[in-house]
Amino acid sequence: MPSTEIKNICCIGAGYVGGPTMSVIADKCPHLHIHVVDIDEQRIKAWNSKNLQDLPIYEPGLDEKIKKCRDINLYFSTEIEKNISNADMVFISVNTPTKTKGIGAGKASDLKWVEACARQVSKYASGHTIVVEKSTLPVKTAEVIKIILEDAQLNSQNSKTTFDVLSNPEFLAEGSAIEDLENPDRVLIGGENIEAINLLSEIYLNWVAEEKILHTNIWSSELAKLTSNAFLAQRISSINSISAICEATGADVREVSRAIGSDSRIGSKFLDSGPGFGGSCFKKDILNLVYLCEYFGLPEVAKFWEEVIEINKWHQHRISKLIVKKLFGTVSGKKISILGFAFKANTNDTRESAAIVICKDLIEEGALLSIHDPKVDKYQIEKDLGIKLNLNEESKSEDHSYKSKGGWTYAPSIKKSLIGADASIILTEWNEYGNIDWNMAKKIMRSPSWIFDARSILIPEKVKNAGLNLWRIGDGSN
Ligand SMILES: NC(=O)c1ccc[n+]([C@@H]2O[C@H](COP(=O)([O-])OP(=O)(O)OC[C@H]3O[C@@H](n4cnc5c(N)ncnc54)[C@H](O)[C@@H]3O)[C@@H](O)[C@H]2O)c1
């Protein structure tokens, strides 16, 4: 039976979800003691760093929450056993990437981290523990967790150890995580035991209105999360496919978006065309859905959702190809400035970023990229590209005597990225890229210079009046 009060919480996984989510709960619920645990010592060290600039995750407003709550009622550590044992409620917030080998490789989610967590919980929990799935999981995963926990219960010397499993998927978007957590559209709680559901609801009721807290059965909750991401990704793929038609026909994707978005049945959000969706979730969650459809004998449904990913891939390569075409059919030996590497603005996350595909394509064509991003460091870029850094523009001045072999350098400033470049490509919609002085850019770039605005954040006249050539996504006048 659940206790009547939750005092101690343990969150397993201190990542993009665990860290921000627990920071907001700690802020809103000062009466709770929250321990965020992780096996990654470096990550925990960074969460405990005195310098808030060194937190492992960049999210607007996160540093303030950490400053306010850390070591008051929010703690980061690698002490997994002790904190599970003390917890009344354990959140599982570990990664669930796509399987790379074995059955379902390339599609199904790899549940080894979730299973490991369930085993840890079954081993170390004491008394009654409510286990909350925060990670995005395939439908019916709660059953797996339950089986592991119930097995532990049967074999335990301590018959007083009992569990409830709830599904509470997280809908935050990176880049606005704190805002999303503070003002969620809804909080979804799936489960069977109404007492356990109420105890989790009570936590959210500290700042979320009751009507926004939805209770469903556990499978609906798990499927709703996958479906939500599939619909969002589908919307991006849809508008990106229209951008290609706009460019071919003389239409303008911004005008099309405005026109269709003002239809209340469609709505105006998620209609910005860009370089293709990225992030750790969309592709993985759709692949998961595809796998589930195949598993349950629904190949037509699987094909429908798989196409959302296929068109996204095609769209990213389409952008690299048209850049090469505009630059007289070759980028070999040319310096190209890349502005933005994160998959979206206001995050340092680069997982599945469109920039990775586009940069690799251009390097393959022989370009020398000068990559700038305000929050992504050069080691992360090196890891993502799998190509060693050629030289560091911090230490060596630009000479443009670049060789015909492709490669990349790290630019510590926008200006350094632009010096001597034949083209600049905006791949992430960071605010600062919208404020570039294009007259200055014209002076330091190599003529004839091109600006490729894959995020549609620039005012075209400002770029064109500076004497630069402009290509914008979905602009039929390109
Ligand atoms: N990133 C997002 O925007 C987002 C949004 C909603 C939901 N989700 C889902 O939330 C889950 C977590 O995503 P994330 O982006 O935070 O992942 P992440 O990779 O940033 O963090 C996961 C953390 O879990 C830790 N971990 C793994 N196994 C562990 C174990 N046995 N014990 C302790 N720690 C362990 C890892 O070291 C890592 O630090 C995923 O299922 C994801 O699909 C992510």
Q: What are the average pLDDT values for consecutive 10-residue runs of the chain, which has 478 residues?
A: 82 98 98 98 98 97 98 98 97 95 93 94 94 94 91 71 95 98 98 97 98 97 97 98 98 98 97 97 97 97 98 98 97 97 98 98 97 97 93 51 76 98 98 98 98 98 98 96
Ligand 1 atom nearest 137 alpha carbon: 41
Q: Distance between CA atoms of 109 and 120, rounded to whole angstroms?
A: 20
* pLDDT at residue 398 in the model: 47
Residue 16 alpha carbon to ligand 1 centre in Å:
7
Q: Return the percent helix, strand and coil in the chain, to nearest 5.
A: 45, 15, 40
With contact defined as beta carbons under 8 Å apart, do 153 and 128 qualify? Answer: no
Distance of alpha carbon 343 from alpha carbon 381, whole angstroms: 12
Sheet holding 213-216, edge to edge: 74-77, 33-37, 8-12, 89-92, 128-133, 162-167, 187-190, 213-216
The response to whether residue 247 sits with its C-beta less than 6 Å from ligand 1 reads: no
H helix or E strand, kind and range, residue 198: helix 194-204
pLDDT confidence of residue 397: 46
Q: Select from 44, 111, 109 the least CA-distant residue to 83.
A: 44
- 429-477 per-position pLDDT tens digit: 999 999 999 999 999 999 999 999 999 999 999 999 999 999 999 999 9
Which of 281, 285, 346, 349, when mutated, tests ligand 1's pocket best, judged by the most ligand atoms within 8 Å of its CB? 281
Show the 3-state SS of 33-67. EEEEECCCHHHHHHHCCCCHHHCCCCCCCHHHHHH
Distance of alpha carbon 146 from alpha carbon 115, whole angstroms: 10
Q: Give the count of beta carbons closer than 10 Å to the beta carbon of residue 231.
A: 12
Distance 259 CA to ligand 1 centre (A): 38
User: Who's near 63: CB < 8 A, 6+ residues apart?
Assistant: 52, 53, 55
| Closest to 345 in 3D by CA, of 444, 233, 426 | 426
The residues near 140 (Cβ < 8 Å, ≥ 6 apart) are: 219, 222
336 — phi, psi (to 5°)? -125, 125
Select from 36, 38, 82, 350 the residue to mutate for testing ligand 1; criterion: most ligand atoms less than 8 Å from CB.
38
Which is it for strands 213-216 and 33-37: parallel, antiparallel or unpaired?
unpaired
What's the pLDDT at 161? 87
pLDDT at residue 37 in the model: 98
Yes or no: say if 18 and 25 are a contact pair by the CB < 8 Å rule.
Answer: no
Residue nearest to atom 18 of ligand 1 (CA): 15
Ligand 1 atom closest to Cα of residue 43? 39
Cβ contacts of residue 64 below 8 Å, gap of 6+?
Answer: none
Would the CA dihedral through 125, 126, 132, 134 be positive or negative?
negative
Residue 90's φ and ψ, nearest 5 degrees, are -115, 125
Query: What's the pLDDT score for residue 436?
Result: 98
Of 215, 166, 206, 165, the residue nearest 187 (C-alpha): 215
Task: Return the pLDDT at 2.
Answer: 58
CA gap 147, 126 in Å, rounded: 17
Question: Could you read off the pLDDT of 8-44 as tens digits, one per residue?
Answer: 999 999 999 999 999 999 999 999 999 999 999 999 9
Residue 121 tokens, joined: 């919980």
Ligand 1 pocket check for 347: Cβ under 6 Å: no
pLDDT value of position 372 = 98
CA of 428 from ligand 1 middle (Å) equals 23
What pLDDT score was predicted for residue 85? 96
**Residue 117 CB partners (closer than 8 Å, separation 6+):** 12, 13, 92, 94
**Catalytically annotated residues:** 281
**C-beta 16 within 6 A of ligand 1:** yes
Is the C-beta atom of 174 inside 6 A of ligand 1? Answer: yes
pLDDT at position 390 = 79
Q: Is the CB of 93 under 6 A from ligand 1?
A: yes
Q: Is the CB of 113 under 6 A from ligand 1?
A: yes
Q: Which pLDDT belongs to residue 159?
A: 64
